[in-house]
């Protein structure tokens, strides 16, 4: 049999996409799949505020002192809080705020950390040295007290208008900024260290030999190979950011009322814990479920991205 | 080694100095300055008097100069006066430091012990039911908001069951050891849970890795009893990364301690700083933040040294 | 035969510095090497570890620019345009088949990578090419959708060869492609390399420290010592009658059936540090024939007496 005849007999199999293989592996991780479902449900829950608000015809910001601590009813499905506001709607809207802060601060801080870490590891030199010194210093700081100080800063002294400083938007963006400001260093360090080890591998040399530039190598070889530690780091960051937002808002230095967030809804919960324990339970439970789901998701992604890991 | 220690101590001092300036500047950006607070209680003061007072307090000077004066005084041991406590800031912070140290050390010890047990048990049979349960519990531990956990614990054990006190502390001699422990129990458990979850995941991962290593297999092949294999051969190697992570985490316990102290009304450093910021007591806040920074920096220093001591392959230069 | 690659007195130096304030020193990894590789030719590059043979291979593969001297590709200096062509026409296969393949890429993407980088063909065409190459190097078709970790060392080296073949190269730099493999696998991969060479007009620069393997594959042998070319000759001539004492020592070190190892001729001592090469002939501290002239004057690479194709850098050529 000649070689060409053999070639004709071979069925040329099409390559399955890398992502499909990853999805197949992800689905094996039961905790992660359950978490994915839980997160989608949570998303649906917080977005349900949009149709529900006109449907029930409730203003979630209007206080009604005659209807404080109302039990659940047809109109107020979870009852009302200490100011007579609908608990269910505020949980939904507070969830939107909390999740948005978590995703935004992680995205900003994570993107910054990955860019800086990968560049520092890939190019080395001064940038690398500075980054390492800086993150060393950052890690050695008491995080929460400093965040509280940053959360307490008088924005007018930084040149913002008094009107903006008092607005709800200022409170929202302030917490996004201060959290992303402090929470990129872990990602950057992991990105740097992983990049350093990948850069020395022969498959990177092979790409260079074929004429690949830094951007191609970073995107094709470095990022996928450092994805596992990065995804874990970034996912853990989301969980940490949501927790940070909640504790800052709870302490009164994060998202400020009347804008609800799961954290600041617990503001008064401590005094009310005997009177209305449910009010103290719901928001915290939602934070808990969100963060644990996010953490399991990270675990599942790690499994999906690392062909060698077997659980 | 001596050179390494000297350099790390020097670096720690430098970071502390930089942070003192950063914190000093940030405190200056908080709403109101000492004069505003004073004037609020004395209306009807003319602008001339205000300007005069500003000059007396040096508030019209540039930031760097003010910082310099503050630094010189601080190096001489004068950290200023706490407005709300009507005492020198240092005198307020000294007992608070003891409270916080007690809380942090107890919680740290508890989480290290629990994490070692849980992590090793989980690593013995990875993937089995017990491992899954421990893993789920660990995830729960790192995912629960500390302040909410405190709230729930108070609700259950103090409000509903009346088993434990909801707040406060007692000095050791005051109402006896039992009362002391009863007050400490809920806060310590609250603070320890997160770290138990985190540490046990590290212990499990490190143990699984070392149990696969050659020298452990050799020990097994030689017929060493399983208990000895796990506790001596594997654990010793697994401990190197684990101890580093644990020591590095000790400093971060301070953030959790702040929340815990606030929730359980423990007059520690965290609560003192928090109240000082809320009450515009800036000398106290500044000094407290500096002490908190020092505590974290020192624990990181210890972690670094422990790493070099545990792993002789690391050459410290 | 036309020259595919020419090296013209190429040197590679590394700056080395110990610590922040340490003294700077220059490591002469490759020193004044001139070498041509013809189309379709297989040149063996031999030497001990640390002789600079991998560095020289990296220069030819475009991974490192020479500190001095010039490399020409098909007669052209490497300007921007030529460099692109050369990057395409010269591929490299590495020693360690475990580090040479990106563990996150399926085999199809690994093989097609040289084409992807240079944007050659459509994605479908590249996949088709990968599929036919997988067959050419003797791997099953289902290898395409699998990941490197699922393959043995020999199979991985086949994948690496398939990647190198993807852009239809004129030259493959093979940097000790067999030394990480089991002996039983070595001959399979060696045969594969010979087979694909016969099917395509392909030249090899075959880097090795193993004279026996070199004897199986190459047309000419270049011997590198401390970054310098000490002998270059057609294989038969070199193996029959090595001219340089170092080459002779290398050949004597190869165990052969029916021969007792000629112990007195094996090299004494260790290779000096390339940070401080000896003066004169760099081989003189280890050479049995060394005379006064060897300690002072570096010999030039010249034909051995009566054998114009066999060049050696020695004052006392055989």
How do beta strands C68-73 and C228-234 pair?
Answer: unpaired
Q: What kind and span of H or E run contains B88?
A: strand B87-88
Question: How far is the CA of A158 from the CAs of A120, A145, B32, B276, in angstroms?
Answer: 31, 20, 13, 22
Of C122, C119, C102, which is closest to residue C111 (Cα–Cα)?
A: C102
Q: How many CB atoms lie within 10 A of CB B258?
A: 27
* Residue A83 DSSP code: T
Please report which confidence band the pLDDT of residue C35 belongs to, taking 50, 70 and 90 as the band edges: very high
What is the value of ipTM here, to two decimals? 0.85
B 276-305 residues inside an 8 A Cβ radius of A: 277-278, 285, 288-289, 292-293, 295-297, 300
The pLDDT of residue C42 is 94
The pLDDT of residue A15 is 43
DSSP collapsed to 3 states, chain C: CCEEEEEEEEEEEEEEECCCCCCEEEEEEEEEEEEEEECCCEEEEECCCCCCHHHHHHHHCCCCCCCEEEEEECCEECCHHHHHHHHHHEEEECCCCCCCCCCCCCHHHHHHHHHHHCCCCCHHHHHHHHHHHHHHCCCCHHHHHCCHHHCCHHHHHHHHHHHHHCCCCCEEEEECCCCCCCHHHHHHHHHHHHHHHHHCCCEEEEEECCHHHHHHHCCEEEEEECCEEEEEEEHHHHHHCCCCHHHHHHHHCCCCCCCCCCHHHCCCCCCCCCCCCCCCCCCHHHCCCCCHHHHHCCCCEEEECCEEEEEEECCCCC
Look-up: residue for tokens 């400020």? A256
Tell which wins on pLDDT, C230 or B185.
C230
A 183-222 residues inside an 8 A Cβ radius of C: 201-203, 205-212, 216, 220-221
Spatial neighbors of C14 by CB under 8 A, at least 6 apart, are C26, C27, C29
Interatomic CA distance for residues A242 and A183, integer angstroms: 12
Q: What is the dihedral of CA C223, C233, C302, C26, to 10 degrees?
A: -20
Helix orientation angle between B282-310 and B235-250, rounded to the nearest 10 degrees? 160
Q: Mean pLDDT across the stretch C278-302?
A: 86
Nearest by CB to residue C147, choosing from A12, A14, A307, is A307
Q: How many CB atoms lie within 10 A of CB A148?
A: 25
Nearest by CB to residue B293, choosing from A142, A150, A251, is A142
Closest approach of chain C CAs to the CA of A113, in angstroms?
A: 22
Q: What kind and span of H or E run contains A265?
A: none
The pLDDT of residue A7 is 34
Beta sheet of C24-38, edge-to-edge order: C24-38, C3-17, C68-73, C76-77
The pLDDT of residue B3 is 72
Q: Mean pLDDT across the stretch A57-66?
A: 73
Whether B159 and A273 lie within 8 Å, measured CB to CB? yes
The pLDDT of residue C268 is 67
Q: How many CB atoms lie within 10 A of CB A274?
A: 14
Are A242 and A98 in contact by the 8 Å Cβ rule? The answer is yes
Which residues of chain C have a CB within 8 Å of the CB of A211? 62, 83-84, 87-88, 117-118
The answer, for A9 touching chain C at a CB cutoff of 8 Å, is no
Look-up: residue for tokens 């050529």? C317
Half-sphere CA count of A261, side-chain side, radius 13 A: 28
Q: What is the mean pLDDT of each run of 10 residues along chain B (317 residues)?
A: 76 86 85 65 69 69 82 82 80 87 91 92 84 89 89 82 66 61 83 91 84 73 74 75 79 86 88 87 87 84 72 49
- Quote the Cα angle for C203-C206-C212, to 5°: 125
| Domain segments of chain B as ranges | 2-81, 90-310
Q: For residue range A298-310, list pLDDT tens digits in order.
A: 888 777 766 555 4
- State the distance between the two ends of chain B, measured CA to CA, in whole angstroms: 7
Which residues of chain A have a CB within 8 Å of the CB of B147? 246-247, 250-251, 266, 284
Least confident interval from A5-19, A39-53, A288-302, C151-165: A5-19
Indicate whether C249 pLDDT > 90. no
Least confident interval from A83-87, B88-92, C191-195: A83-87
Are C312 and C302 in contact by the 8 Å Cβ rule? The answer is yes
Helix orientation angle between B129-143 and A223-251, rounded to the nearest 10 degrees? 50
Q: For residue range B133-192, list pLDDT tens digits in order.
A: 998 899 899 889 988 898 888 888 877 777 766 666 555 556 666 666 677 788 999 999
How do beta strands C68-73 and C76-77 pair?
Answer: antiparallel
| Domain segments of chain A as ranges | 3-310
Q: Can you say whether residue C64 is alpha, beta or left, with left for phi > 0 and alpha for psi between -120 and 50 degrees? A: beta
Taking CA–CA distances from C175, the nearest residue in chain A reads A202
The answer, for B23 touching chain A at a CB cutoff of 8 Å, is yes
Burial class (CB in 10 A: 0-12, 13-18, 19+), A162: exposed
Query: What token pair was written down for B278?
Result: 């809320």
Tell which wins on pLDDT, A124 or C132.
C132
Half-sphere CA count of B130, side-chain side, radius 13 A: 11
Indicate whether C225 pLDDT > 60. yes
The per-residue pLDDT of chain A, averaged, comes to 80
Q: How many CB atoms lie within 10 A of CB A161?
A: 11
Are A35 and B143 in contact by the 8 Å Cβ rule? The answer is no
The pLDDT of residue A308 is 58
The pLDDT of residue A17 is 58
Q: How many CB atoms lie within 10 A of CB B176?
A: 11
Look-up: residue for tokens 């004897």? C215
Q: Mean pLDDT across the stretch A136-150?
A: 81
Specify the CATH number of the domain B90-310. 1.10.3720.10
Q: For residue range A152-208, list pLDDT tens digits in order.
A: 887 777 777 777 777 777 778 888 998 988 888 888 888 998 898 888 889 999 999
User: Does domain A3-310 fall into CATH 1.10.760.10?
Assistant: no
Q: Can you say whether residue A252 is alpha, beta or left, with left for phi > 0 and alpha for psi between -120 and 50 degrees? A: left
Least confident interval from A271-275, C82-86, C200-204, C231-235: A271-275
The pLDDT of residue B316 is 43
The pLDDT of residue B312 is 55
Indicate whether A20 pLDDT > 60. yes
The pLDDT of residue A1 is 34
Nearest by CB to residue B139, choosing from A247, A283, A296, is A296
The pLDDT of residue A13 is 37
Which residues of chain C have a CB within 8 Å of the CB of A194? none
Question: How far is the CA of A208 from the CAs of A117, A223, C62, in angstroms?
Answer: 21, 16, 8
The pLDDT of residue A207 is 92
Indicate whether A11 pLDDT > 50. no
Are C316 and C291 in contact by the 8 Å Cβ rule? The answer is yes
Query: What token pair was written down for A14?
Result: 């099409």
Indicate whether C53 pLDDT > 50. yes
Q: What are phi and psi of B186, to 5 degrees?
A: -60, -50
The pLDDT of residue B213 is 72
Burial pattern A65-104, b for ≥16 Cβ within 10 A else e, equals eebbbbeeeeebebbbbbbbbbbbbbbbbbbbbbbebbeb
Give percent of chain A above pLDDT 90: 17
SS3 A86: strand
Tell which wins on pLDDT, C164 or A4.
C164
Tell which wins on pLDDT, A134 or B104.
B104
Are B166 and B158 in contact by the 8 Å Cβ rule? The answer is yes
Q: For residue range C205-218, list pLDDT tens digits in order.
A: 999 988 888 888 89
Nearest by CB to residue A157, choosing from B29, B126, B274, is B29
Of B269, B266, B230, B228, which is closest to residue B251 (Cα–Cα)?
A: B269
């Amino acid at each position: 049999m000649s070689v060409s005849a053999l070639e004709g007999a071979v069925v040329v199999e099409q390559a399955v996409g890398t992502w499909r293989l990853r999805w197949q592996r992800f689905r094996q991780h039961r905790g992660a799949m359950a978490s994915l479902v839980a997160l989608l449900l949570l998303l649906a829950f917080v977005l349900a505020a949009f149709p529900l608000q006109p449907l029930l015809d409730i203003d979630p910001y209007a206080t009604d002192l005659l209807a404080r601590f109302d039990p659940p009813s047809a109109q107020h499905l979870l009852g009302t809080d200490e100011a007579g506001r609908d608990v269910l709607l505020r949980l939904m809207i507070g969830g939107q705020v909390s999740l948005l802060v978590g995703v935004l601060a992680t995205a900003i801080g994570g993107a910054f950390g990955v860019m800086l870490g990968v560049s520092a590891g890939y190019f080395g030199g001064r940038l690398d040295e500075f980054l390492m010194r800086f993150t060393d210093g950052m890690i050695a700081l008491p995080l929460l007290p400093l965040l509280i100080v940053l959360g307490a800063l008088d924005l007018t002294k930084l040149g913002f208008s008094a009107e903006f400083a008092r607005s709800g938007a200022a409170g929202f963006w302030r917490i996004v900024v201060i959290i992303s400001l402090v929470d990129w260093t872990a990602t950057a360090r992991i990105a740097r260290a992983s990049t350093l080890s990948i850069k020395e591998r022969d498959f990177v040399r092979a790409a260079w030999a074929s004429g690949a530039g830094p951007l191609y190598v970073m995107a094709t070889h470095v990022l996928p190979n450092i994805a596992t530690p990065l995804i874990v780091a970034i996912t853990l960051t989301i969980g940490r950011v949501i927790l940070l937002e909640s504790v800052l808002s709870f302490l009164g230095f994060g998202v400020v009322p009347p804008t609800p967030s799961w954290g600041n809804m617990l503001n008064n919960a401590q005094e009310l814990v005997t009177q209305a324990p449910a009010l103290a339970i719901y928001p915290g439970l939602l934070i808990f479920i969100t963060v644990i789901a996010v953490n399991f998701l990270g675990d599942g992604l790690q499994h999906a991205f690392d062909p060698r890991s077997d659980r | 080694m001596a050179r390494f220690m000297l350099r790390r101590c020097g670096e720690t001092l430098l970071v502390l100095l930089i942070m003192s300036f950063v914190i000093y500047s940030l405190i200056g950006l908080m709403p109101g300055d000492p004069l505003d607070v004073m004037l609020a209680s004395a209306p009807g003061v003319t602008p001339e008097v205000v300007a005069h007072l500003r000059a007396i307090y040096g508030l019209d000077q540039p930031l760097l100069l003010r910082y310099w004066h503050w630094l010189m005084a601080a190096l001489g041991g004068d950290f200023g006066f706490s407005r709300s406590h009507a005492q020198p800031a240092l005198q307020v912070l000294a007992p608070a430091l003891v409270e916080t140290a007690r809380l942090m050390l107890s919680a740290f010890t508890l989480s290290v012990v629990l994490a070692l047990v849980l992590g090793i048990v989980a690593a013995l049979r990875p993937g089995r039911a017990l491992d899954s349960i421990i893993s789920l519990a660990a995830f729960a531990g790192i995912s629960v908001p500390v302040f909410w956990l405190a709230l729930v614990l108070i609700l259950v054990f103090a409000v509903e069951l009346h088993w434990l006190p909801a707040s406060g502390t007692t000095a050791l001699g005051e109402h006896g050891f039992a009362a002391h422990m009863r007050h400490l129990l809920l806060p310590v458990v609250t603070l320890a849970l997160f770290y138990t979850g985190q540490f046990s995941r590290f212990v499990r991962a490190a143990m699984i890795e070392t149990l696969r290593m050659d020298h452990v297999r050799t020990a097994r092949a030689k017929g060493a009893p399983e208990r000895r294999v796990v506790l001596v051969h594997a654990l010793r190697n697994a401990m190197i990364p684990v101890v580093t992570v644990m020591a590095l985490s000790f400093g971060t316990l301070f953030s959790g301690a702040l929340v815990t102290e606030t929730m359980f009304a423990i007059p520690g450093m965290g609560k003192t700083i928090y109240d000082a910021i809320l009450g515009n007591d800036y000398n106290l806040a500044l000094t407290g933040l500096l002490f908190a920074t020092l505590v974290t920096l020192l624990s990181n220093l210890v972690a670094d040294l422990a790493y070099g001591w545990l792993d002789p392959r690391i050459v410290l230069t | 035969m036309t020259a595919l690659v020419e090296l013209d007195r190429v040197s590679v130096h590394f700056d080395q510095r110990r610590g922040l304030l340490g003294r700077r020193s220059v490591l002469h990894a490759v020193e004044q090497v001139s070498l041509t590789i013809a189309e379709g030719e297989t040149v063996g590059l031999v030497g001990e570890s640390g002789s600079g043979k991998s560095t020289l291979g990296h220069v030819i593969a475009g991974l490192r620019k020479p500190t001095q001297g010039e490399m020409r590709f098909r007669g052209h200096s490497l300007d921007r345009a030529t460099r692109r062509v050369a990057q395409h026409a010269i591929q490299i296969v590495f020693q360690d088949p475990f580090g040479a393949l990106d563990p996150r890429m399926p085999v199809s993407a690994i093989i097609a990578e040289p084409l992807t980088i240079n944007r050659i063909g459509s994605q479908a065409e590249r996949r088709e090419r990968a599929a036919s190459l997988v067959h050419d190097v003797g791997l099953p078709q289902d290898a395409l959708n699998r990941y490197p970790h699922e393959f043995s060392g020999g199979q991985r080296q086949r994948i690496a060869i398939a990647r190198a073949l993807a852009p239809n190269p004129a030259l493959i730099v093979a940097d000790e492609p067999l030394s990480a493999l089991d002996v039983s696998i070595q001959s399979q991969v060696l045969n594969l390399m010979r087979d694909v060479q016969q099917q395509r007009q392909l030249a090899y620069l075959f880097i090795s420290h193993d004279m026996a393997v070199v004897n199986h594959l190459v047309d000419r042998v270049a011997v590198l010592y401390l970054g310098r070319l000490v002998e270059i000759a057609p294989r038969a001539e070199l193996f029959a009658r090595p001219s340089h004492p170092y080459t002779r020592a290398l050949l004597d070190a190869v165990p052969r059936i029916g021969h007792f190892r000629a112990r007195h001729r094996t090299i004494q001592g260790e290779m000096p540090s390339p940070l401080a090469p000896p003066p004169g002939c760099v081989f003189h501290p280890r050479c049995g024939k060394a005379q006064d002239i060897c300690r002072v004057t570096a010999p030039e690479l010249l034909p051995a007496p009566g054998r114009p194709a066999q060049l050696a850098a020695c004052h006392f050529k055989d």
